[in-house]
């Protein structure tokens, strides 16, 4: 397929509209002129009931209440690092485990300092733990140009699982490595830093400039 026909095929693909196409967000107010594709007005009542019932589970209930308390207390006031401190306090956490990118050790140390200042026991594990060559899991030589050793998010999760931390915090794991960490981590996980090497860890910077400096990504 030529480049042009591939682009045409892409734009011809049928678009099913959903919340990502909504410009009003009226579900936040519960009334008004909802769009015709609105998920609130077309909601499957059984699915809603199923989801609501899950909040009755002890851990889910504690997390939901703690999150609501932090949001109410610190809305627009607490930066995210502080929100996590307050969230952990409200959950009654004793020990916190940080899964960090090795490139963000300085930030991980700073966050650990903050947590320790607030009385938590803190442990951490960096992504390159074990110094395992990429060839060990079948990564080709071509992909070794940016480093010889694998990021090992599965091992990060297993170490923190074994150490029975009460809350796990992700600092800057790569796209996909974070997916594996979330998949293998037991219990409650939150994210402090979403890595973006180009924007100073602010992925929204690209979205804000999608019609200007980053319009090349739409081509």
42 binds ligand SF4, rule: CB under 6 A:
no
Nearer to ligand SF4, 26 or 114 (CB): 26
45 binds ligand SF4, rule: CB under 6 A:
no
**CA-to-CA distance for 81 and 79, rounded, in angstroms?**
6
Supply φ then ψ for residue 44, to 5 degrees: -80, 110
Residue from 7, 8, 39, 183 touching ligand SF4 (CB under 6 A): that is 39
Q: How far is the CB of 18 from ligand SF4 (least distance, A)?
A: 7
Nearer to ligand SF4, 9 or 19 (CB): 19
Q: Is the separation of the CB atoms in 110 and 132 below 8 Å?
A: no
19 binds ligand SF4, rule: CB under 6 A:
yes
197 binds ligand SF4, rule: CB under 6 A:
no
Q: How deeply is 74 buried, as exposed, middle or buried, from its count of CB atoms within 10 A (0-12, 13-18, 19+)?
A: middle
**CA-to-CA distance for 199 and 212, rounded, in angstroms?**
15
Report helix, strand or coil for 89: helix
Which helix or strand (DSSP H or E) is residue 124 part of?
A: strand 121-126
Nearer to ligand SF4, 41 or 164 (CB): 41
Residue from 7, 8, 9, 24 touching ligand SF4 (CB under 6 A): that is 24
Q: Is the separation of the CB atoms in 183 and 161 below 8 Å?
A: no
145 binds ligand SF4, rule: CB under 6 A:
no
48 binds ligand SF4, rule: CB under 6 A:
no
Tokens of 164: 């029975």
For residue 122, list its beta bridge partners: 96
Residue from 38, 102, 154, 205 touching ligand SF4 (CB under 6 A): that is 38
Q: Closest by alpha carbon to 172, among 106, 217, 121, 113?
A: 106
Nearer to ligand SF4, 28 or 58 (CB): 28
144 binds ligand SF4, rule: CB under 6 A:
no
Q: How far is the CB of 46 from ligand SF4 (least distance, A)?
A: 17
The DSSP secondary-structure symbol of 38 reads -
Nearer to ligand SF4, 22 or 154 (CB): 22
Contact residues for ligand SF4, defined by CB under 6 A:
19, 22, 24-27, 34-35, 38-40
């Amino acid at each position: 397929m030529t480049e042009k026909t591939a682009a045409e095929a892409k734009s011809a693909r049928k678009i099913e509209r959903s919340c990502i196409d909504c410009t009003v967000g009226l579900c936040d107010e519960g009334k008004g002129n909802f769009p015709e594709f609105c998920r609130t007005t077309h909601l499957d009542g059984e699915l809603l009931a199923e989801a609501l019932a899950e909040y009755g589970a002890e851990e889910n209930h504690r997390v939901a209440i703690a999150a609501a308390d932090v949001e109410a207390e610190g809305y627009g006031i607490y930066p995210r690092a502080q929100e996590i401190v307050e969230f952990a306090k409200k959950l009654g956490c004793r020990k916190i485990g940080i899964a960090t990118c090795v490139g963000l050790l300085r930030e991980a140390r700073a966050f650990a300092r903050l947590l320790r200042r607030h009385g938590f026991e803190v442990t951490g594990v960096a992504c390159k733990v074990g110094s395992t060559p990429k060839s060990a899991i079948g990564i080709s030589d071509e992909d070794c140009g940016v480093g010889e050793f694998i990021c090992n998010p599965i091992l990060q999760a297993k170490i923190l699982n074994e150490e029975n931390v009460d809350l796990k915090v992700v600092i800057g794991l790569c796209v996909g490595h974070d997916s594996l960490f979330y998949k293998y981590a037991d219990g409650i996980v939150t994210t402090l830093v979403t890595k973006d090497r180009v924007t100073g860890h602010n992925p929204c910077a690209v979205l804000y400039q999608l019609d200007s400096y980053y319009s090349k990504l739409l081509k």
